Structure 1
């Protein structure tokens, strides 16, 4: 299946313009830049057309032969299957590859719940027909998640850390609502960067020259090299989505020494990747957090999602937010076992969430 066969205009009419990851151009760029099948993502788009050949329902799905790039971790599930002599892969995943960002997953004309329910049933029936072990909807919005609970026995949640723009006039206005110790720490971290003669610049993706493209892609790659991961996204992919990119560069004199890749939606900035040539004191916090916050304030964006995990973000103004996933596992005994496991997991996560909120940097 390829999105080349689907009208971009009709797809984006269903998707809306708020979330950049569900856009036709973003998903097609993953395909055409060869970021998917070589790494275990085989597109399987679910589509519903009206009798007038108009797209009225759609869902981006992928047959997966591993669990890489999903950010809702089920490696232990796969291991348990394997130890029981069963095959966990392939499975079906409804998500955006390599993107741990909440957003629309089940698209329907006028947000029609009947169309959405049909797509959910379609996916579950397809999984059974293809003998997939399981079906997974990841990083769902609340309305989709509420529908999915009617069709799936297994639900999970985790926490990310998001910054919210409370109509701040400027960065100092944001700092003023923090506890004094947290405010002082952020000021010190920003001062350390300027004391090292580091200059921060932000550019839109379509403003980059070839040298800057090479540099930011190098930073994307080097992070995976350090962590023994795989740089699945190609330079061509980033160039194809250039208008939605915000690139943050750190300069020492004339030389770029660090950079971050963000993706900008209608009212949200998403931090995705970062890298550096060498370590500078507090530069990571400036490039990945503070510059993004300042950009959101200046440009009136409501939310900054700086990426998955990392409770160190709390002290810098990012508060815990639940992210939701829904799962169907075909094997009845495993499904029953996982349901019990997920109940214990949810109880522990609720306690964890309480502890996280206690660390809030904001004044009471």
Structure 2
């Protein structure tokens, strides 16, 4: 008999059982990453993140699970539903709390319904809906599932799409020069000039994995992260302890690109590495040297992917400027179950219109590709 259980902490779920439900190629759904957020002070109650993980058990065997959270706001989700919350408020209804299936602060595509088979996955979704009704929640949401997973959602889970900018190796790029050879002259020249400015300034780069990172490296990178959030007036969610945790628990998944200049580290980008994908997450700098941002955040990552044989580089959400540097528009997905049938019908119509608009936007972006041709 299958039992449904929701947990307020992944400490209550054995790591081996959780990680047996996925192939290990996406570090963001690993027990080490998700539990690390909880244990190292990154999920703060005042920011609206309360762990509420969905699990299915057959006896002592974990057969399905979804990382989930009760949300009192939409902070740190990157799928924007503020208009929905406003619509609820206009009708005198509460949109929050809601249930969110996803990875906090991480707009990266990956598996969300971890299961041994399709039947357990379907039952997991039904259990999430039942839990939302039991708790009198307005809705349940699954953010950034894989395209294959998105295609398997049943009717009633409203689809939404958005656009990010991803680098993909079509298979014939062996090095950075080969990558640039597919660019038109204007964009190829611009990238070479950007890289040359950084080199002429005397900046050198180190690629440091978690198990090679010194305590100083981690502290400096964390300082850059804090500086960036402070510069933009945002509150940093991650802690130094979490970064230290990643370095020890996911040592080869954590990748730091550190820029050194005149004897000190002046900039850095924090990335995570998956099976065939590099995920850019955070960057920061204490210097505004020309070209430093693009070199640290994009070109060093592309170089790394080409050396390591990685096929995809997801540098983070938003940013049309990434197109000129070889990151092309890519659809990302989310699914939404709305408890009230009247609101579900209205939001379904809204989502259809949004989808048409996003697809038009993506087509317009394709006109600005820097490549001479697309394979």
- Is the structural similarity TM-score above 0.5? yes
State the 4+ residue runs in structure 1 displaced beyond 3 angstroms.
none
* Alignment counterpart, residue 275 of structure 1, candidates 270, 280, 284: 284
SS at match of 1:14: coil
Name the counterpart of 2:107.
100
Question: Does the CA-based 8 Å contact 1:192-1:281 persist in structure 2?
Answer: yes
Question: Distance between the aligned counterparts of 1:353 and 1:81, measured in 2?
Answer: 29
Question: Distance between the aligned counterparts of 2:147 and 2:159, measured in 1?
Answer: 12
Residue 41 (structure 1) aligned with residue 49 (structure 2): yes
Name the counterpart of 2:270.
261
Name the counterpart of 1:297.
306
Name the counterpart of 1:355.
364
CA RMSD of the aligned region, Å? 1.2
- Deviation readout 1:277-332 (Å, 9 max, x if unpaired): 12111111000000000000001111110000111111111111100101012223
TM-score, normalised via structure 2 length? 0.93
* Alignment counterpart, residue 155 of structure 1, candidates 133, 152, 159: 159
Name the counterpart of 1:57.
64
- Deviation readout 1:216-240 (Å, 9 max, x if unpaired): 1011111111112110111111111
Which residues of 2 match residues 1-364 of structure 1 at below 5 A?
1-38=8-45, 39-51=47-59, 53-109=60-116, 112-152=117-157, 154-165=158-169, 166-242=171-247, 243=251, 244-364=253-373
Question: Distance between the aligned counterparts of 1:167 and 1:121, measured in 2?
Answer: 44
Between Structure 1 and Structure 2, how many residues are aligned? 360
Question: Distance between the aligned counterparts of 2:83 and 2:289, measured in 1?
Answer: 37
TM-score, normalised via structure 1 length? 0.96
- Unaligned runs of 5+ residues in structure 2 are 1-7
SS at match of 1:191: helix
